[in-house]
Structure 1
Amino acid sequence: MLRPVDEAAHRAASDAEVVAWVDEQDRLLGGVPRAELRARRLIGRGTYILLFNSAGELCVHRRTLSKALYPGYWDVAAGGMVLYGEDYAASAARELAEELGIVGVELVEHAHFLYDAPESRLWCTAYSAVSDAPLVLQPEEVLEARFISVEQALEEPRQLPYCPDSLAALQRYLAALH
């Protein structure tokens, strides 16, 4: 059963989270509130988890309209900001559990890269996981989710709004396979 969400309170709490702040070489400088990191265009850390089912289909989900970045966009990866004091792998496991309700799966690391766009500057680590467990969507973060082929996930951004940062993670994942 979905519970009512106070979207303003959720966004305020999210913006107040203390996230890892790093330099251009991904060396930890400290922790800052998420909103300050974004406002000052500092570099943070992020994780992207590409969730596949055993048929090889990729989970894509649509972000809530309350998200500060890319509201209502489709996303090819679960994930988010690495909290201060947290490492990439712990962040990936936490985000996958929070957003999609998937726990206890092996996370395979595929790429570590700098994503530098006007709206977001992040050192990122992309992971993949495989699970056929039922999804449990976090209502504050995810409107809907579905599994589609990787080919469809690469084609859909031509017609639908997709998060460019997670698409960058998918591209790096695909390049690492070859």
Structure 2
Amino acid sequence: MNTHDNDDELLVLVDENDVEIGVLDKTSVHKTGVLHRAFSVFIFNSMGFLMLQRRALQKYHSPGLWSNTCCSHPRKGEDIKSAGTRRIAEEMGLKCPLNFAFSFTYRAELENGLIEHEFDHVYFGFTDKIPKPNPDEVMDWKLISMRELQKDILAHPDNYTEWLKICLAKVVEHLDEK
């Protein structure tokens, strides 16, 4: 079992202002739906295409679904941007600078009664490098235009993670402001 899907991994619990209030194991967090700190990374290439990953089938939730380039949780005491850089390397075999875009809070009920309730910090990165995904984390990847992604999510919503569907409108809005 890889470290990331370790049920004993401790997640940072936060209040609605992202102030740390404790830690709890990952399984308990996702069973109870308690608010916790997370990050989502969106990597674009020089043509503006977004790199998506398809989650490995052995993932404990949302297996086989398409999602943003990388998402995870910082460790206790770990800087969020550093955690994003670490996880992009671990999941996608990529190194590229990340830039903070925005934060938001969401709650989504997943399969098997699990709940994602995250204070999510969103980062953007840009690279034309080809990823070398970790097969324990990622079963496939692709580049897609934002317009095509939006159309495909509308046509086939069950192929995508809940957090990508929730976050995408905010990503597009942020990109349009730039």
The answer to whether the 8 Å contact 2:5/2:59 transfers is: no
Residue 106 of structure 1 aligns to which amino acid in structure 2? Answer: P
Q: Does 1:87 align with 2:85?
A: no
Aligned to 2:105: 114
* Structure 2: gaps spanning 5 or more residues: 110-114
Alignment of 1:11-160 (within 5 A): 14-103=6-95, 105-118=96-109, 119-157=115-153, 158-159=155-156
Evaluate the alpha carbon distance shift between residue 20 and residue 171 of structure 1 in structure 2; reply closer, same or farther with a 3 A threshold.
Answer: same
Q: CA deviation at 1:12?
A: 8.8
Summarize deviations over 1:47-89 as a string: whole Å, max 9, x none. 1111111111111111111112211111123121222221221
Equivalent position to 2:163, from 154, 162, 165 = 165
Given the two structures, how large is their TM-score scaled by the length of structure 2? 0.87
RMSD: 1.8
Say which is worse superposed, 156-165 or 113-122, in terms of deviation.
156-165
Residue 121 of structure 2 aligns to which amino acid in structure 1? Answer: T
Summarize deviations over 1:11-44 as a string: whole Å, max 9, x none. 8952211111112221101222111211222111
Aligned to 2:112: none
Identity of aligned residues (%): 25
The answer to whether the 8 Å contact 1:22/1:45 transfers is: yes
Residue 71 of structure 1 aligns to which amino acid in structure 2? Answer: P
Aligned length: 169
* Structure 1: gaps spanning 5 or more residues: 1-8
The 3-state SS of whatever aligns with 1:155 is helix
Residue 58 of structure 1 aligns to which amino acid in structure 2? Answer: L
The answer to whether the 8 Å contact 1:11/1:66 transfers is: no
